[in-house]
């Protein structure tokens, strides 16, 4: 089930929750949520009209003040097409990664880039009259599967191993045993587990894979990672690797989810192929200037990362106290176990105005919890401990 379907089913898309209220809370928290030193804002009390939204991995800080001002300043020119701002963002991203503009493609969120890459890969296989498969870990972010299935690609899901990590050996077997083109989607850190796959485990496979194997490395949460075992796959592109696309987004650490700005990084020829399937004018002016300003606002990125670190510590301390198992998180969410059925836990949290993540089969008994601001997570912990007193978790 995708995010929009979940919103409709929960009643949050139409009625029950004021958009203005959400925006106002985000702006207020951006002003006084957490400092780099880790001080926590005033207590948050979730209500029916202002629930805790801890279910979609959004950044509750809201966008940086510089990004917000950039949007305001750009509004008088919004009657013009966004070409100049779009090109400026491509140039800035290329410079940021020390690559050429030919190595960058922009998307309406990183999801459009994933879609375009898959369409390009399927089209290439069809032109060569070859079968095509998408190999994905299970569970993971499912948009690659949603985009590939209508195109006739065979979907091969490989369950996570006993440690809930990618079973790369089995995935490699699925690719090597397939007579055709393979697309391998790997989310790193993975969603919903928030765990990383070390670079040493990935790079060997990517470098050794045949030319008809394409890797999509989704690094939506890379900016939150502190584990030195992680290394961005952008380095492979810089080194000349031609069978890998790295997707990134401004939705998470930069808190621009509503402005839909993402991008892909790959070999120039692969980017050109992908661009054939990217919608024209897919980047709006507001999103582009906000992204440019966000790249300049180093302090906000530091605050955003620190906020997630403080929030994570608040949550894991409570989970330790309650004896609830969780995976080591390298993202802005925590994957943890609950007592009993996850759906019942989710519904009870909703009744207390806290929206938490659903279950992700086949990882049964686990819930994905988005890390809001430290003040929000203190509020969540109060509800969670109240649940323990009632015998619910």
Q: Is the pLDDT of residue 275 over 90?
A: yes
Q: What angle do CA 292, 293, 296 make, to 5 degrees?
A: 95
> CATH 3.40.640.10: does it fit domain 67-296?
yes
pLDDT tens sequence across 317-334: 999 999 999 999 999 999
Q: Distances in Å between the alpha carbon of 317 and those of 301, 312, 352, 360? A: 24, 8, 21, 23
Q: Is the pLDDT of residue 35 over 50?
A: no
Q: Which residue has the higher pLDDT, 57 or 19?
A: 57
Residue-level pLDDT at 14 = 42
Tell me what the mean pLDDT of segment 140-158 comes to. Answer: 98
Residue-level pLDDT at 281 = 87
Q: Is the pLDDT of residue 29 over 60?
A: no
Q: Which two structure tokens, joined as six digits, stand for 320?
A: 């330790």
Tell me what the mean pLDDT of segment 277-292 comes to. Answer: 96
Residue-level pLDDT at 5 = 53
Domain 3-63+298-389 identical in fold to domain 67-296: no
Residue-level pLDDT at 16 = 42
> In which band, very low, low, confident or very high, does the pLDDT at 24 lie, cut at 50, 70 and 90?
very low
Pick the range with the lowest mean pLDDT from 37-41, 277-281, 298-302, 348-352. 37-41
> In which band, very low, low, confident or very high, does the pLDDT at 18 lie, cut at 50, 70 and 90?
very low
Residue-level pLDDT at 37 = 44
Parse the chain into domains and list their residue ranges. 3-63+298-389, 67-296
- The DSSP code for 192 is T
**Residue 25 neighbours by CB distance under 10 Å:** 19
Residue-level pLDDT at 21 = 46
Tell me what the mean pLDDT of segment 28-54 comes to. Answer: 69
Tell me if the pTM is above 0.75.
Answer: yes
> CATH 1.10.760.10: does it fit domain 3-63+298-389?
no
Q: Distances in Å between the alpha carbon of 175 and those of 144, 237, 364? A: 17, 21, 27
Quick check: 144 and 299 in contact, CB under 8 A? no
Tell me what the mean pLDDT of segment 341-350 comes to. Answer: 98
pLDDT tens sequence across 301-312: 999 999 999 999
Q: Is the pLDDT of residue 40 over 80?
A: no
Percent pLDDT > 90 in the chain is 88
Tell me what the mean pLDDT of segment 363-379 comes to. Answer: 97
Residue-level pLDDT at 378 = 98
Quick check: 168 and 197 in contact, CB under 8 A? yes
Q: Is the pLDDT of residue 210 over 80?
A: yes
Helix 374-389 / helix 342-351 crossing angle, nearest 10 deg: 110
Across all residues in the chain, what is the average pLDDT?
A: 92
Residue-level pLDDT at 2 = 57
Q: Is the pLDDT of residue 30 over 70?
A: no
């Amino acid at each position: 089930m995708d995010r929009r379907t979940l919103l409709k089913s929960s009643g949050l898309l139409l009625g029950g929750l004021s958009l203005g209220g959400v925006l106002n809370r985000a702006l207020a928290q951006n002003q006084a949520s957490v400092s780099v030193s880790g001080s926590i804002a005033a207590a948050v009390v979730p209500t029916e009209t202002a629930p805790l939204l801890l279910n979609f991995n959004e950044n509750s800080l809201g966008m940086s003040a510089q990004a917000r001002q950039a949007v305001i300043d750009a509004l008088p020119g919004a009657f013009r097409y966004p070409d100049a701002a779009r090109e400026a963002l491509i140039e800035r991203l290329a410079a940021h990664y020390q690559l050429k503009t030919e190595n960058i493609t922009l998307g309406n969120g990183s999801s459009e880039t994933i879609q375009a890459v898959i369409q390009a890969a399927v089209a290439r296989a069809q032109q060569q009259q070859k079968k095509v498969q998408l190999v994905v870990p299970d569970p993971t972010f499912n948009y690659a599967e949603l985009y590939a299935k209508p195109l006739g690609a065979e979907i091969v899901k490989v369950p996570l191993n006993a440690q809930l990590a990618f079973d790369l050996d089995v995935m490699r077997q699925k690719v090597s045993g397939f007579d055709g083109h393979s697309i391998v989607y790997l989310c790193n850190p993975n969603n919903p587990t928030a765990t990383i796959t070390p670079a040493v485990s990935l790079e060997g496979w990517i470098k050794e894979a045949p030319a008809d194997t394409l890797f999509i490395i989704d690094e939506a949460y890379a900016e939150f990672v502190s584990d030195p075992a992680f290394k961005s796959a952008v380095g492979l592109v810089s080194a000349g690797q031609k069978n890998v696309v790295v997707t990134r987004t401004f939705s998470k650490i930069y808190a621009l989810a509503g402005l839909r700005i993402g991008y892909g990084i790959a070999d120039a020829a692969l980017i050109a192929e992908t661009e054939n399937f990217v919608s024209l004018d897919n980047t709006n002016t507001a999103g582009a200037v906000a992204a440019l300003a966000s790249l300049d606002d180093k302090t906000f990125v530091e605050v955003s990362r620190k906020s997630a670190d403080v929030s994570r510590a608040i949550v894991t301390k409570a989970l330790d106290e309650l004896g609830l198992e969780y995976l080591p998180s390298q993202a802005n969410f925590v994957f943890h176990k609950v007592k009993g059925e996850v759906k019942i836990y989710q519904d009870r949290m909703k009744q207390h105005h806290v929206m938490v993540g659903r279950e992700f089969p086949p990882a049964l008994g686990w819930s994905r919890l988005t890390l809001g601001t430290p003040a929000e997570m203190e509020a969540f912990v109060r509800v969670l401990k109240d649940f323990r007193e009632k015998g619910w978790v």
